[in-house]
Amino acid sequence: MRFDIDSLRETADSLTRNRRRTILTGFGVFWGLFMLLFMIGGGQGLKGLLQENFGGFASNTMVLISSNTSKPYKGLPEGRYWNFTRTDIDRLKQMIPELDVVSPMISGWGNTVEYGEHSTSAAIRGVSADYCKIEQPKMRYGRYLNETDIIMKRKVCIIGKRVYEQLFPDGGDPCGKFIKSGEIYFQVVGVDMSSSMLSINSNSSYSLMIPETLAATIYNRGNIVDIICLTAKGGIHTSVLEPRIRSIMARQHSFDPDDLEAMQILNTEEIFMIVDNLFRGLNFLIWLVGLGTLLAGCIGVSNIMMVTVKERTIEIGIRRAIGAMPGEILTQIITESIALTLAAGSAGIMFAVFLLNIFEKVSSDATFQISFNTAILAAVLLALLGALAGLAPALRAMAVKPVDAMRDE
């Protein structure tokens, strides 16, 4: 009787140890898959937020800014300042047919804009009608500037998101109403709700967009423009056109073509390329860390299955003795391994989706979520790793001989 009680205690202790090992191993798989999917979803969400901040801005844009020369050239001293002219716009269009849009901009800062009792500070940007191809607006009300506005120098404007909220706190369509800046009244023809982090001479949220011909008259610029914005046609990299643009401007305005400070060029293609490379590296790191954690969990599954096979040597030996085929033993162990990994992995998938859903609700501007295909791929990968984890224990179980099992008993 004493022997039976000790045997039962030993069996109970063994079951308790197995249960603990199984729970810990399952948690390892759960945590590995959770980390992988959570980081994938989080990375997609961060990328979405960044794209939202850069949204609407053409990825093949160059902004030309005139500045002081840093080198003497043909008898002219260094430190000389020069300006773009309207002639430069026509020259670029004619000499570089690969360009799609060449748009001037004239800017004024520190303007107080008023409507009734409300007022706010805003920048005034004079642009052409095709500037919308460079910085795509999100029109809530009204329209964008057109060629007739430019030609006739109409006193019309498009107001940015923040300007709209400050001047019209009650909301509604402000199109047709007149706002005042200085001594000039502008008729509102549109409301742009874009809020990109990228901006040229001012953020669009805090700007009034007016015809550039009107801005030239208001600020007495004559033939001079502040900056030139341009985009290349599809399939053409702006970085390839940059040397030609610099050469044309240098020849026209008499500065050294190698003087990079004389004309500064902001190339958004390089910015977007840096962002893309950043997220490629981030995705690689996510998969590396996630798969490493997941692999560690599957190694734990292999170990627990190995211990299980050792403790079930007698059971396996008896099954072999009564006619069980080696393939049946192999299938049983691998199936148990796959079941363990899939059970823990499914919990990891659901927990990752749950947390990502919370992040998505907190930040409504981006999608912190994984795709259905990603979840299916993760489950298939997990089943494969579970099968591999159970392969070595299964092969060991197949090698158990009934005689050896009875001897162990």
Condensed to tens digits (0 to 9), the pLDDT of residues 312-344 reads 666 666 666 676 676 777 777 778 777 777 777
Q: For position 12, what pLDDT does the model report?
A: 46
Residues 214 and 277 in one domain: no
Residues 396 and 279 in one domain: yes
Instruction: Say yes or no to pLDDT of 287 above 80.
Output: no
The first and second tokens of residue 209, run together, are 């967009």
Q: What tens digit of pLDDT does each residue of 205-263 get?
A: 889 999 999 999 999 988 999 999 998 888 888 888 999 999 999 999 999 999 989 99
- Helix H segments across 326-371? 326-362
The first and second tokens of residue 52, run together, are 């939202």
Return d(Cα 49, Cα 279) in angstroms, integer.
12
Q: Which residues pair with 119 in a beta bridge?
A: 114
**Domain assignment present for 119:** yes
Residues 397 and 339 in one domain: yes
**Domain assignment present for 261:** no
Residues 48 and 115 in one domain: no
Indicate the residue among 187, 204, 224 that finishes a domain. 224
Residues 398 and 335 in one domain: yes
> Which residues lie closer than 8 Å to 236 by C-beta, 6 or more apart?
60, 98
**Domain assignment present for 246:** no
**Domain assignment present for 95:** no
* Rounded percentage of the chain residues whose pLDDT exceeds 70: 76
Q: For position 397, what pLDDT does the model report?
A: 65
Residues 199 and 309 in one domain: no
Cβ atoms of residues 388 and 341 within 8 Å: no
Q: How far is CA 383 from CA 295, 304, 306, 350, in A?
A: 12, 16, 18, 16
**Domain assignment present for 184:** yes
Return d(Cα 13, Cα 251) in angstroms, integer.
89
**Domain assignment present for 158:** yes
Return d(Cα 254, Cα 252) in angstroms, integer.
6
Residues 278 and 404 in one domain: yes
How do the residues of the chain divide into helix, strand and coil, expressed in percent and rounded to 5? 55, 20, 25
Residues 194 and 309 in one domain: no
Q: What are phi and psi of 229, to 5 degrees?
A: -110, 135
Q: Please count the structural domains in the chain.
A: 2
Q: For position 7, what pLDDT does the model report?
A: 47
Indicate the residue among 190, 224, 258 that finishes a domain. 224
pTM score, whole prediction: 0.66
Residues 39 and 157 in one domain: no
**Domain assignment present for 113:** yes
Residues 37 and 115 in one domain: no
Indicate the residue among 201, 224, 247 that finishes a domain. 224
Q: For position 293, what pLDDT does the model report?
A: 72
**Domain assignment present for 236:** no
Q: What's the domain range around 145? A: 106-224
Average pLDDT for 107-111: 83
Q: What tens digit of pLDDT does each residue of 366-391 get?
A: 677 777 787 788 778 777 777 777 77
Confidence of residue 197 (pLDDT cuts 50, 70, 90): low
Q: How far is CA 365 from CA 48, 206, 262, 278, in A?
A: 8, 20, 40, 20
